[in-house]
Protein backbone atom coordinates (compact mmCIF):
# COMPACT_ATOMS: atom_id res chain seq x y z
CA UNK A 1 0.00 0.00 0.00
CA UNK A 2 2.93 2.34 0.58
CA UNK A 3 3.57 2.37 -3.19
CA UNK A 4 0.02 3.55 -3.93
CA UNK A 5 -0.89 7.20 -4.24
CA UNK A 6 -3.20 8.79 -1.68
CA UNK A 7 -6.35 8.28 -3.77
CA UNK A 8 -5.63 4.57 -4.23
CA UNK A 9 -5.01 4.14 -0.51
CA UNK A 10 -8.22 5.91 0.42
CA UNK A 11 -10.27 3.96 -2.13
CA UNK A 12 -8.92 0.68 -0.78
CA UNK A 13 -9.67 1.64 2.83
CA UNK A 14 -13.20 2.68 1.92
CA UNK A 15 -13.76 -0.62 0.09
CA UNK A 16 -13.01 -2.41 3.36
CA UNK A 17 -16.08 -0.76 4.85
CA UNK A 18 -18.40 -0.72 1.85
CA UNK A 19 -17.84 -3.80 -0.32
CA UNK A 20 -18.84 -6.89 1.64
CA UNK A 21 -20.38 -6.31 5.04
CA UNK A 22 -20.35 -10.06 5.73
CA UNK A 23 -16.56 -9.91 6.19
CA UNK A 24 -16.41 -6.50 7.87
CA UNK A 25 -14.89 -7.70 11.15
CA UNK A 26 -12.28 -9.80 9.38
CA UNK A 27 -11.34 -6.79 7.25
CA UNK A 28 -11.11 -4.55 10.30
CA UNK A 29 -8.79 -7.09 11.95
CA UNK A 30 -6.04 -6.34 9.44
CA UNK A 31 -6.68 -2.58 9.26
CA UNK A 32 -4.05 -1.66 11.91
CA UNK A 33 -1.34 -3.29 9.79
CA UNK A 34 -2.45 -1.20 6.85
CA UNK A 35 -2.37 1.99 8.90
CA UNK A 36 1.21 1.28 9.92
CA UNK A 37 2.37 0.63 6.37
CA UNK A 38 1.70 4.05 4.86
CA UNK A 39 1.04 7.60 6.02
CA UNK A 40 -2.66 8.43 5.97
CA UNK A 41 -4.21 11.89 5.84
CA UNK A 42 -5.56 12.66 9.36
CA UNK A 43 -8.81 14.16 8.04
CA UNK A 44 -9.45 11.06 5.96
CA UNK A 45 -8.60 8.82 8.90
CA UNK A 46 -11.08 10.63 11.15
CA UNK A 47 -13.88 10.23 8.61
CA UNK A 48 -12.88 6.58 8.02
CA UNK A 49 -13.08 5.77 11.73
CA UNK A 50 -16.52 7.40 11.91
CA UNK A 51 -17.73 5.38 8.91
CA UNK A 52 -16.23 2.18 10.37
CA UNK A 53 -18.12 2.76 13.61
CA UNK A 54 -21.34 3.26 11.67
CA UNK A 55 -20.70 0.13 9.61
CA UNK A 56 -20.17 -1.95 12.72
CA UNK A 57 -23.31 -0.51 14.29
CA UNK A 58 -24.65 -2.28 17.33
CA UNK A 59 -22.58 -5.38 16.63
CA UNK A 60 -20.03 -3.92 19.05
CA UNK A 61 -22.46 -4.80 21.80
CA UNK A 62 -22.64 -8.51 20.99
CA UNK A 63 -21.25 -10.76 23.74
CA UNK A 64 -18.58 -12.23 21.46
CA UNK A 65 -17.09 -8.85 20.61
CA UNK A 66 -16.60 -7.90 24.22
CA UNK A 67 -14.99 -11.22 25.05
CA UNK A 68 -12.68 -11.00 22.04
CA UNK A 69 -11.51 -7.51 22.94
CA UNK A 70 -10.46 -8.63 26.44
CA UNK A 71 -8.11 -11.36 25.17
User: Do 2 and 38 touch, CB atoms closer than 8 A?
Assistant: yes
Q: Please report whether residue 1 resides in a domain.
A: no
Domain count, the chain: 1
CA distance 67 to 17: 23
Range(s) of the domain holding residue 44: 6-69
Q: Please report whether residue 36 resides in a domain.
A: yes
Q: Please report whether residue 42 resides in a domain.
A: yes
DSSP state of 51: H
CA distance 17 to 3: 21
Higher pLDDT: 8 or 68? It is 8
- The answer, yes or no, to whether residue 71 has pLDDT greater than 80, is no
pTM of the model: 0.70
Per-residue model confidence (pLDDT) at position 7 = 92
Rg from Cα positions in the chain:
13
pLDDT digits 0-9 by tens, 19-56: 877 778 888 888 888 888 888 889 999 999 899 888 88
Amino acid sequence: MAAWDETQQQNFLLRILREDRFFLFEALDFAPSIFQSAPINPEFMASWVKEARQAVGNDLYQPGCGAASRR
